[in-house]
Amino acid sequence: MKSLLKPARLMAVATVFVLAGCVTAETPNSQRVVEAVDQTTAEEKFRQDREAILAMAGNYRVSFDFIETVSFVDGYDIKDRKLSGGDEIVRVIEDRGDFISLQHILVVGGEKKFPVKHWRQDWRYEPSSVLTFVGGNAWEKRQVAPGNSKGKWSQVVYQVDDAPRYGALGEWSHEDGISEWTPPSAWRPLPRRDATTRNDYQAVDAVNRHAITPDGWVHEQDNSKLILKGERQVLVREIAINTYKEFDDFETSVGDDYWNATKDYWASVRSKWNEVEAASESFGLTIQGEPEELYMQLLQLADEVKGEEKPLSAATAEASRIIDEYTTSDVGSLATRLNATEQSTAAQAQGSDNQSGDVTLAQKEQR
């Protein structure tokens, strides 16, 4: 009978058979050996996966590079390349073995540096569901069959105020000297650099790769900018390479001090968002376009906690009230949400030039 075992498993099984004086025909004992090898292989893979995820924590000089490549709509002109960067710390804020949460915080400014809470990425092993973006500032929990999640990790990415952005399920591979995670394509909201300045597309269909490099890691994206109004159409393709290179020569304490002063507040905010997610299979925001009026209020409360201007209990209570005000389980149709998005984008575009350059840099590169 032809063996279907991979070489490593085949060698392990053969070794046990030789030591035990077994024949090559499969027996109940040999099946138990195969199962034991499978278990060992899965445990080793799980360990490698965790090491790769945890390797993304650290201090980095970051570059964000976005290049539109191919237009699929007659008359569309490829937009200029968007290149920016900064210094960022990434910290492990929770690790339960099969769940890891990484918080990104930018350190920006001239002579006087200040922190800007950036995005968060949550990794969950063999999840039963994944929170996914469905357009128009709405999300739904998509169930995952146990067989489809075996050996895989979900990544859910969150906004600066811990509201969700997008999620996907994929498997880490550790071959050819590279540890990388690549899921199937999934929708995500517009990045702020586009959400506040244009209304010619409504979602990004993205293939999203994370790979560990010798001096840090890289977040590669293959993006299709989608027109969702009328018949669905790809407007233009875009490639993105966001590079995180290990770099300690900046005031990392600015970011760490901010987090130490506000982490209890943000833990409460995360808990509130978890309640919203758990309450229904889908939910959305009551505002469309870039949800700046929501996240600026929550960020302001964090600053007041840090500056000891407001007690933690009062800030968390107010944050909970704000999230309740801006969320709903009645998401309506995609068409209705998109109509509201167009009106909101026009209003936001008028005010986007009035913000400080550093804050715009920090917030516009939403992942």
Amino acid at residue number 198: R
At 33, the pLDDT band (50, 70, 90 cuts) reads: low
Q: pLDDT tens across 66-91, in order?
A: 999 999 999 999 999 999 999 999 99
Dihedral angle computed from the Cα positions of residues 223, 226, 232 and 236, in that order, rounded to the nearest 10 degrees: -70
Q: pLDDT tens across 156-209, in order?
A: 999 999 999 999 999 999 999 999 999 999 999 999 989 989 999 999 999 999
Average pLDDT, integer, range 281-298: 95
Which distant-in-sequence residues (6+ apart) come within 8 Å of 365 by Cβ? 64, 84, 191, 192, 193, 242
- Residue 140 token pair: 């739904």
- Report the pLDDT value the prediction gives residue 146, as an integer from 0 to 100: 85
Buried residues in 202-233 as b, exposed as e (16+ CB within 10 A): bbbbbbbbbebeeebbbbbbbbbbbbbbeeee
Average pLDDT, integer, range 206-227: 98
Tell me the pTM: 0.85
- Residue 283 token pair: 């939910």
Please, are residues 319 and 268 in contact by the beta-carbon 8 Å criterion? yes
> Cα–Cα distance between 107 and 113 in angstroms, integer?
6
**Of 4 and 117, more confident:** 117
Other CB atoms within a 10 A radius of the CB of residue 81 amount to: 10
Residue 229 has pLDDT above 70, yes or no: yes
Which distant-in-sequence residues (6+ apart) come within 8 Å of 317 by Cβ? none
Residue 352 has what DSSP assignment? G
- Residue 312 token pair: 């933690």
> Cα–Cα distance between 175 and 303 in angstroms, integer?
44
Range in 24-28, 98-102, 191-195 with the lowest mean pLDDT: 24-28
- Residue 211 token pair: 């790979």
3-class SS at 349?
helix
Q: Where are the extended beta strands (E) located within the chain?
A: 58-71, 82-95, 99-108, 114-125, 129-133, 138-143, 153-158, 164-175, 178-182, 186-188, 203-213, 216-227, 233-246, 282-285, 327-328
Residue 220 has pLDDT above 50, yes or no: yes
Range in 40-44, 64-68, 246-250 with the lowest mean pLDDT: 40-44
> Cα–Cα distance between 130 and 168 in angstroms, integer?
7
What are the Cα distances from residue 327, in Å, to 104, 163, 187, 281? 24, 10, 20, 13
Pairing label, strands 138-143, 282-285: antiparallel
Of 214, 217, 132, nearest to 168 by C-alpha is 132
Domain locations in the chain as residue ranges = 7-48, 58-364
Q: pLDDT tens across 253-288, in order?
A: 999 999 999 999 999 999 999 999 999 999 999 999
- Report the pLDDT value the prediction gives residue 340, as an integer from 0 to 100: 76
Q: What percent of the chain has pLDDT over 70?
A: 82
At 19, the pLDDT band (50, 70, 90 cuts) reads: very low
Amino acid at residue number 285: L
Residue 239 has pLDDT above 90, yes or no: yes
- Report the pLDDT value the prediction gives residue 339, as an integer from 0 to 100: 84
- Report the pLDDT value the prediction gives residue 293, as an integer from 0 to 100: 95
